[in-house]
Structure 1
Amino acid sequence: MSAIRALRQLSTVSCRVAASRSASLAARSRLVSSVQVRAFSASARSFGQGTADVALSNSLSEELKYEKESVADSDKEPDFLREFKAQGKWQIEDIPYNDEVTLSRKFGNENMRLTFSIVDVRGEHDEGLDNESASEEGEEDAAQEEEVLTTYPIRASLSITKSNSPAALAIDMMCQEGQFVLENIAYYQDGNLVNHSTAEADWKRRGIYMGPQFDTLDVSLQDEFDKFLQERGVNESLALFIPEFAEFKEQAEYVKWLEGVKGFVDA
């Protein structure tokens, strides 16, 4: 075999080897890419149908971790709640995942139900955050904000029914700065309308005279109503407890909300 022919054959073999290696590398690259795509797709499918599910789940996890770490001994009953229960006057009806809380008690032949919502807490938090972002006075404004958060107004509704009377009273009021500010007192001939949440009961309530604005009543009459409620435990102690419990429940509901949403996204 001549040197030139041998050189040509060697060149041909080298080209074939190079081409074979190039094809092998290309095939391997396609295989790795395919595996990565399948793995990512499988991961995305495990979090529903969207590609953003994993990132959202991670963000929810971080927020959940922060909220749990920021509340010390979150699994323990706080002192203020334990002391309130120890008094044995009011029973707390706190349903998980609900906005409203009801305090109930008996006084003589009367049944009393005081209902308030944690919605006012969320609204106050949002307003506080807006004020903080717009503030330029640093720590002094932060201290003022903290003070506001402990005295924010919470709307409450008190119903009083009697076992020997078909009628009832419904009192709308604001709980603020350790006191109740009465707005109006409505009288119901049919006491069943006060606590029923049916559409029919709601329709009937709309047509009932709700009474005058409380602050337009004679001052002596206002004083007597205040004494009437004080005797029944609607007093400063209760007015201080409600915002504190509303804050406590709002935090607990937020944590449950984070857990629920994360569980749904991960499903």
Structure 2
Amino acid sequence: MVSSFTRRLLQTAAGLRFSSPCARYRPVLTYFSAASSSAPSSLVRSSLIQSLKNRSAFLPLRFASSKVGSDENLLKVLQSEIDCVQEFKDPRELEVPEGFPFVIIDNPGDQTITLKREFAGENIQALVYMNLDGEEDGGDNNKDDDTDQENSIQPSISLHVTIDKGDVPILEFGCNLNSEELEIESMARKSQDDSDVQGAYEGPNFSDLDESLQKALHKYLEVRGITSSLHGFLHEYMTNKDEREYLTWLKNIEVFVRK
């Protein structure tokens, strides 16, 4: 006689067989009548497992359909954003002002640019990036001058300036550049291999220096080309770069999704 456990397995397998949503994937099971000898338990289990596998095979099809739909929607949104950026992008190349003292190093994919020049035997570099965190609040409705209001909401430009004379330690300046002035926020003297002893004295905060010394250091940078007059060009350049990098980023995401 067929045991009650085996009978339940057979009934479960039979139910799965006839509930399959597609005849093409219906499992072929071997049945044993109650009058026959006991069915081998291993064969019953094998048939049941195969039935479960065939039934679960339909689940990935449903998720695959959802994936295709979501991918197509994402591609449409990406293309719309790409078209929007390209529509408002100024096709003209930004011209470097006459007498601009630096060579611009602009590597695609970087969020910063580097200004380089040589001056009286010194190697001067300035790492430039937009200081979006320092953007001022432009919500003052009492301002009547539209130009002043536009300038007030422009993010400042941050500069990390290094002055290298060769074998001696270098000077580093952390600067904030806006439309009105160049602010020196920090200054440090570091060794060439950047292996200064931890805890070494680096001088007081720049704002704590004597006013005459602060002015002299501003003049020191000004002679080397680091002045507030850089703001207009650098702001426009970095704005254009941000648009270029964003467009490239969108296209790279689109290529990835399409593959």
| TM-score computed with the length of structure 2 as normaliser | 0.65
Query: CA, structure 1 residues 205+229, in 2 after alignment: closer, same or farther (shift >3 Å)?
Result: farther
Q: Is the 8 A contact 2:178 2:228 kept in 1?
A: no
Match of 1:249 among 219, 224, 241: 241
Which one of 140, 159, 162 corresponds to residue 159 of structure 1?
162
What is the CA distance between 1:248 and its match in structure 2?
1.5
Please report how far the alpha carbon of residue 236 of structure 1 lies from its aligned counterpart in structure 2 after TM superposition: 2.2
Alignment partners' CA distance in 1, 2:85 and 2:149: 20
Please give the residue correspondences for 1:9-48 in structure 2 after superposition, counting only pairs within 5 Å. Answer: none
Cα gap change, 1:77 to 1:144, in 2 (>3 Å): same
Q: What is the DSSP-based 3-state SS (H/G/I as helix, E as strand, rest coil) of the residue aligned with 2:242?
A: helix
Say which of 68, 89, 92 aligns to 2:101.
Answer: 89
In the superposition, relative to structure 1, how do residues 205 and 182 fare at CA in structure 2: closer, same or farther (>3 Å)?
farther
The amino acid that maps onto 1:159 is T
The Cα of 1:265 is off from its aligned counterpart by 1.0
Is residue 2:60 matched to residue 1:58? no
Measure, in 1, the Cα distance between the counterparts of 2:107 and 2:235: 17
Q: Which moved more, 1:59-68 or 1:209-218?
A: 209-218
The residue that corresponds to 1:72 in the other structure is 90
For 1:169, what is the secondary structure of its paired residue? strand
1:191 aligned residue: 192
Question: Deviations 1:56-94 (Å, cap 9, x if unpaired)?
Answer: 110110111011111232xx312xxx233x425201111
| Structure 1 position 179, deviation (Å) | 2.1
Q: In the alignment, is residue 116 of structure 1 matched against residue 128 of structure 2?
A: yes
Shift of 1:218: 1.0
CA distance 1:257–1:52, shift in 2 (3 Å)? same
Partner residue of 1:227?
A: 219
Task: Please report how far the alpha carbon of residue 116 of structure 1 lies from its aligned counterpart in structure 2 after TM superposition.
Answer: 2.0
2:7 is matched with none
User: Partner amino acid for 1:177?
Assistant: S
SS in 2 for 1:87: coil
Q: d(CA) in 2 for partners of 1:206 and 1:180?
A: 30
Q: Secondary structure at the match of 1:265?
A: helix
Contact 1:53 1:265 (8 Å CA) reproduced: yes
Corresponding residue number in structure 1 for 2:112: 100
Is the contact between residue 180 and residue 236 of structure 1 (CA under 8 Å) also seen in structure 2?
yes
1:177 aligns with 2:179: yes
Q: Secondary structure at the match of 2:113?
A: strand
Change beyond 3 A, Cα 1:83–1:207: same
Equivalent position of 2:152 in the other structure = 148
* 8 Å Cα contact 1:184-1:211 kept in structure 2: no
Larger radius of gyration: 2
1:215, distance to aligned residue in structure 2 (A): 1.8
1:199-238 → structure 2 map (5 Å cutoff): 207-238=199-230
- Looking at structure 2, the residues matched to 136 and 184 of structure 1 have their Cα atoms a distance apart, in angstroms, of 30
Task: Quote how far apart the aligned CAs of 1:155 are.
Answer: 2.3
1:168 corresponds to which of 163, 170, 188: 170
Higher relative contact order (CA 8 A, sep 6+): 1
Structure 1 pair 208/252, CA: closer, same or farther in 2 (3 Å)? farther
Change (3 A) 1:149 1:263: farther
Q: What one-letter code is carried by the residue in structure 2 that aligns with 1:147?
A: N
The amino acid that maps onto 1:77 is E
State the alpha-carbon separation in 2 of the partners of residues 251 and 124 from structure 1.
Answer: 20
Aligned to 2:250: 258
What TM-score do the two structures reach when normalised by structure 1? 0.63
Give the number of aligned pairs: 198
3-state SS, counterpart of residue 169 of structure 2: strand
Could you tell me how far apart the structure 1 residues matched to 2:153 and 2:174 are? 22
Structure 1 match to 2:30? none
8 A contact 1:186–1:210 mirrored in 2: yes
The answer to whether the Cα contact below 8 Å between 2:188 and 2:203 also exists between their aligned partners in 1 is yes
